Structure 1
Amino acid sequence: MINQSNVLEKARAFIYQNARLLDRQRFAYWFEGGSQECVLQALAAYQNQDGGFGHALEPDIRCPQSQPVPTEHALIMIDELEAYDSELMDGIIRYLKGITHPEGGFPLAYRSLLAYPHAPWWIIERDDVANLNPTGHILGLLMKHPRWPEWEKVEWIQRSMRFVWEAMEKPEPGEYHEGVQWVSFLEHAPVTPQTSLAKEKLNAWLAKDGVIDRNPNAEGYVQKVMDWVTAPDSYAASFVTEAELDEHLDALIRQQSEDGGWPISFPAASPLGELEWRGALTVDRLRTLRAFGRL
């Protein structure tokens, strides 16, 4: 076991010195007795009148206009807080209804982002087609909401559910970002033969060599054990051993930078974007370490 006594102290200094207000409030909520309402107030600053989220909530998309992936990020934070009664949800549902493709699903992104700084992989040629990413994850998060029994009867949601099922008729996910869409959707979908078949395909893919990178010191944009297993109840937890978990948790602590934050494994859109990513990731890494009893 490696020394972890000052991990939280170093991370706290990094967050208060460098992170955006939203992640300072998240840190305060999770580790200093801060309020849920303060997190939600900070998150609300990223919401537009159409109910969607922009303003670089996803730090690699710097445009102010609403985009599907930043709206997905907002849902993740609302779910993280279990703040399902937040007024932010009314706007999110209104936005999602408005961007639903005629055949169901939501676009990956809109070309409005091209007028602003953005990471090079956000080059959008078409925004009139739906994409499993982020549709699957968004619907998975909505299925966790207490209002789901009401929402699942709504036509645009039923249309989007059909889109996801059709998208998962392929043999397996294509890569990590698609895989997490399968995970979120199937974790919360009703138990049916269709769900069981899709989980069989997902599980076979997760068990394949290289999907979950077992090397704790792997560099570059790879998805290692702690990217898949952020808590003991994570879907992918059954695909790693206790020894692998211990090894990767030790590595996660070692990989904390001297400044107290955790590094990102990809080039950011800007120096500010890098700090925003690192602040968010640092809160996430601390939550993972605490979930596994390392803080």
Structure 2
Amino acid sequence: MIEAARSFIRLNARVLEQRRFLHLFEGGSGDAVATAVLAYRNDDGGFGHALEPDGRGPDSQPLHTYTALSLLAEVGWTEHAHPACDFLATIANPDGAVPNCLDTPGARAPWWQPSGESDLLVTALLASALHRMGVEHPWLDGATEFCWRRIAGLTTSHPYEVNACARFLDHVPDRPRAEREAERLGALVREQGLVDLGDGRAHEGYAAGETHKPHQYAPTPDSLARRWFSDEEIGADLDAVAAAQQDDGGWTFPWAAWTPVTTYEWRPIVTIEALLALRAYDRIS
């Protein structure tokens, strides 16, 4: 499985994903990953340049900035976190949160809709990466309080938002509070059918087959969301992940490819994520 994935990555991936694969699976340099990430950094401290493939154009965006922080956290680099927080503070609303997408030049996926509204999904993702790094910053303080308030008030949601909340709860420092909210969030997921346990039914507004599986909510066994699923449910899900490797060695993604380049950029990313999930659960060494 790893050999086939290596071939796929070498043939198809951006420099960033090639460096990340080398670091994660072949003992390559984490510094090389960070150097590749910093190529997407802007002078305002945020990140752009299609780092997250569905947002084209050079300008800094919240989701690009989350992607960068998550990758830097993965390799233990924290020195660019504070400038990123400074950027986020410039686009934040009074409640501490940031919008999902800024109205900047450049093409973007149809679901990247510019709005000034505070967005739980992207704010929770950003806060999760920063807490994972152990960062302290005034913007993060406000964003964290926003996330606590919004998560506590959730009565309905959708899979991407729940997944972002789960990442926040995995890394926020207040562990007792995180465990309480995770238990309540897991009940909501089961009650509202926000997880695909094999039926393949997509949530309203999602593309056919665009579902969230147990391993996506719980990418590692120590994720709080792991408690939402039985051993049998996790096992069946991981069997399906392993079986989904394509003949070319890579995995593919279920959401729409709105322009051809995104297919080539997303597939190496989801391939690495699939391998990480399988390794986390001891399906591969």
Per the normalisation by structure 2, the TM-score is 0.89
The number of residues matched between the two structures is 278
Please point out which of 87, 91, 103 is paired with 1:111.
103
Question: Which amino acid letter does the alignment assign opposite residue 89 of structure 1?
Answer: A
1:138 matches 2:121: no
Higher relative contact order (CA 8 A, sep 6+): 1
Cα distance in 2 between the residues matched to 1:31 and 1:194: 34
- Between 1:93-102 and 1:209-218, the stretch displaced more is 209-218
Find the residue that maps to 1:266 and give its secondary structure: coil
Cross-structure match for 1:24: 18
Q: Which amino acid aligns with 2:121?
A: N
For 1:107 and 1:201, the matched residues in 2 are separated by 25
1:102 corresponding residue in structure 2:
94
1:121 aligns with 2:111: yes
Per-residue CA deviation, residues 190-232 of structure 1 (Å, 9 max, x unaligned), is: 5488656534431321332622211076661111122222221
Tell me the equivalent position of 1:255: 244
| CA displacement at 1:258 relative to structure 2 | 1.0
- Aligned residues of 1:214 and 1:244 also touching (Cα < 8 A): yes
Query: What pairs with 1:46-195 in structure 2 (closer than 5 Å)?
Result: 46-84=40-78, 87-112=79-104, 115-124=105-114, 126=115, 128-148=116-136, 151=137, 154=138, 156-191=139-174
In 1, the alpha carbon distance for the partners of 2:135 and 2:113 equals 35
Gaps of 5+ in 1: 1-6
- Alignment check: 8 A CA contact 1:206 1:236 kept: no
Matched letter for residue 166 of structure 2: V
Note the C-alpha offset of 1:13: 0.7
Shift of the 200–52 alpha-carbon distance from structure 1 to 2, 3 Å rule, reads: same
1:29 and 1:129, CA in 2 relative to 1: closer, same or farther beyond 3 A? same
1:74 & 1:178 partners in 2: Cα distance? 19
Q: Distance in 2 between matches of 1:235 and 1:254?
A: 26
Q: Alpha-carbon deviation of 1:121?
A: 1.2
Q: What do residues 214-252 of structure 1 show as CA deviations (whole Å, max 9, x unaligned)?
A: 107666111112222222112211122222222222211
Q: 1:274-293, CA deviations, whole angstroms, 9 ceiling, x for partnerless residues?
A: 11111111111111111122
The normalised TM-score by structure 1 is: 0.86
CA contact (8 A) 2:127 2:144 kept: yes
From 212, 216, 221, give the equivalent of 2:195: 212
Deviation at 1:174, TM superposition (A): 0.9
Q: Distance in 2 between matches of 1:283 and 1:188?
A: 21
Distance 1:38 1:106 in 2: 30
Residues 1:290 and 1:21: Cα distance change in structure 2 (over 3 Å): same
Q: Is the 8 A contact 1:173 1:202 kept in 2?
A: no
- Does residue 1:202 correspond to 2:185, yes or no? yes
Q: State the percentage of identical aligned residues.
A: 34
Native 8 Å contact 2:166 2:217 kept in 1:
no
The alpha-carbon deviation at position 173 of structure 1 amounts to: 4.7
Quickly say closer, same or farther: Cα 1:247–1:21, change in 2 above 3 A.
Answer: same
Task: State the alpha-carbon separation in 1 of the partners of residues 260 and 14 from structure 2.
Answer: 13
Contact 1:61 1:119 in 2 (8 A): yes
CA distance 1:205–1:32, shift in 2 (3 Å): same
Q: Contact 1:19–1:279 (CA<8 Å) still a contact in 2?
A: yes
Verify: 1:36 aligned to 2:36, yes or no: no
Deviation at 1:99, TM superposition (A): 1.7
CA deviations over 1:102-122 (Å, ceiling 9, x no partner):
23111111111xx42221212
| 8 Å contact from structure 1 (residues 216, 248) kept in 2 | no
Please tell me the root mean square deviation across aligned C-alpha atoms, in Å.
2.2
